[in-house]
Amino acid sequence: MQFGDFWVAARIVFIDDPEWYYASCRTKGCNKKLKLKGKWLWCSTCDRNWGDGTLRYRVKVRVVDLDGNAHFLLWDRECLDLIGISADDLKDTHTKGRKGLPKELETLIGQNLLFRIAVRKEQFQNYLNAFPVMRIITDEKIVEKHAPELIQVWDRDLSSKLELELTDEDLWDIERLNEDNSIENGTVKRSLIDEFSSTQSSKKSKDSVVKIEKETDL
């Protein structure tokens, strides 16, 4: 169990939440989600009311590598880099007669990326939390350099990694762990690659791994 920022190589296999955007505060530098307060949208940080907010991406995806799967949370900057269109503009074009997820979001599925994720204490207090993504690297040559096995594997070979889901028994165990404030005997674990920094490209990066698996499999 380690806290900190880690670089993880993984493939996006599907969008895990249909709510892909949120209305944020219009104050410059404030991205806080607005809450409905009477007839207005209210920012708890700025304590200001707005008629509407700035739409920003908040996309929950499921990613897979050769050892397991996990939920990652993509924010506005990363989605803008990947999709090339703002959430505001995408919603405007998508609402014209189309249902389901925008096709632009579906283009994320199948992409092999390097994700810089934040691992915090709350991830181990509730295993259903998604790992927030702080940065992405899309350059295929860089991804292949650090995770060649991920580039070469076919989707059908990764499909088995999605079969392991949290059961009711697992959820009961997680609740018990939360009460006991104990992690060591948990039913789920995640293994992360060592941190990789673009400013220290001379350092050799270890093979990347993302895992969510039962300890009974050890």
Decide which of 3.30.460.80, 1.10.260.40, 2.40.50.140, 1.10.490.10 is the CATH code for 4-217: 2.40.50.140
Q: Where are the domains of the chain?
A: 4-217
**% of the chain surpassing 70 pLDDT:** 69
Side chain identity at residue 16, one-letter code: D
Please enumerate in sequence order all residues whose Cβ is within 8 A of that of 137, keeping only pairs 6 or more positions apart, or say none: 113, 114, 116, 143, 198
Counting every residue written for the chain, the total comes to 218
Residue 132's pLDDT band, with cuts at 50, 70 and 90, is very high
Looking at mean pLDDT, say which of 16-25, 86-95, 203-212 comes out highest.
16-25
Of the ranges 10-24, 87-101, 150-164, the best mean pLDDT one: 10-24
pLDDT band at 121 (very low <50, low <70, confident <90, very high): confident
Q: What is the pLDDT of residue 48?
A: 94
For residue 19, report the phi and psi dihedrals to the nearest 5 degrees. -85, 95
Residue 191 has pLDDT above 80, yes or no: no
What confidence category does residue 47 fall into, taking pLDDT thresholds of 50, 70 and 90? very high
